[in-house]
Amino acid sequence: MKEHIINLRSLVNSSNYLEKPRDRLVCLGAEALSNAEILALLLQSGLPGENAVQISQRLLNTFGGLWGLYKTPFDELVCQRGIGESKAAQMKAAADIGRRLILEAPGERNTINSPSDAAALVQYEMSTLEQEHLRVLLLDTRNHVLDIAEIYKGSVNSSQIRVGEVFKMAIRRNSPAIIVAHNHPSGDPTPSPDDVAVTRALVQAGKLLDIDVLDHLVIGNYRYVSLKERGLGFG
């Protein structure tokens, strides 16, 4: 162990240390790396006159950071200089590992105690969708998440939503409570009049079915709005 620590110190003190993201990660942890350095570890190699870190920084600048890069379609990534199908696939796979970690996180994350708990399960992915999607979180009597079901893809408004479809999976799974979530592709999570009307209809239907509608979340870029917290459609 002592010899290992000495070797690490030698690496930290070496002149080339700051130029090697992998060595920085080994010695200091991933949190010590910049976004460009983390991305460079996925790309692994650069181009003549442009190393992996520089390519990574160019991508981040082009697409507006990691979030913009995550939202960029695969075909558009492939067209970037120095990024072929293999590297684009690696970036997309790494991003989806992050999404799946959030969904599969154990313990309290799977128990809904607040709107932020519910948002944490769906916001990462739903913020990137280019169309409106409506999903339902199915909960048990202890507010543990049983499942997340996608109900609609497309415009989510009061004239198109069939209330029975929203509750179908809850009835099948004998779920006593649900939380509804849908995204605004514009990135602005401000609830529309249709969002409020949909919420009101779902809350009333839930009372008839003895299924509590605990909340309706509108997801935007980096943020969400809880209609329950704002008293919209739950009065």
pLDDT confidence of residue 11 = 47
pLDDT, block means (10 residues), the chain with 235 residues:
51 52 82 86 87 90 85 88 90 82 61 92 86 94 91 71 89 95 94 94 95 97 93 92
Q: Is the dihedral of CA 106, 112, 118, 120 positive or negative?
A: negative
CATH class of 112-230: alpha beta
Nearest CA to 164 among 208, 109, 230?
A: 208
Q: At residue 129, what is the residue type?
A: L
pLDDT confidence of residue 99 = 72
Alpha-carbon distance 94 to 1, whole Å?
32
* Stretch (H or E) spanning 136: strand 133-139
Residue 94 CA, distance from chain mean position: 13
Compute how many other C-beta atoms are within 10 angstroms of the C-beta atom of residue 8: 14
Alpha-carbon distance 98 to 103, whole Å?
9
pLDDT confidence of residue 9 = 52
Q: Report CA-CA distances (Å) from 185 to 8, 33, 98, 139, 221.
A: 47, 31, 21, 26, 8
pLDDT confidence of residue 168 = 93
* Stretch (H or E) spanning 183: strand 177-183
pTM of the model: 0.64
Alpha-carbon distance 185 to 126, whole Å?
9
pLDDT confidence of residue 103 = 64
pLDDT confidence of residue 235 = 79
pLDDT confidence of residue 66 = 83
Query: What are the domain boundaries of the chain?
Result: 2-102, 112-230
Radius of gyration of the chain (CA): 22
pLDDT confidence of residue 6 = 46
Alpha-carbon distance 18 to 82, whole Å?
23
Residue spans of alpha helices (H) in 131-192: 163-172
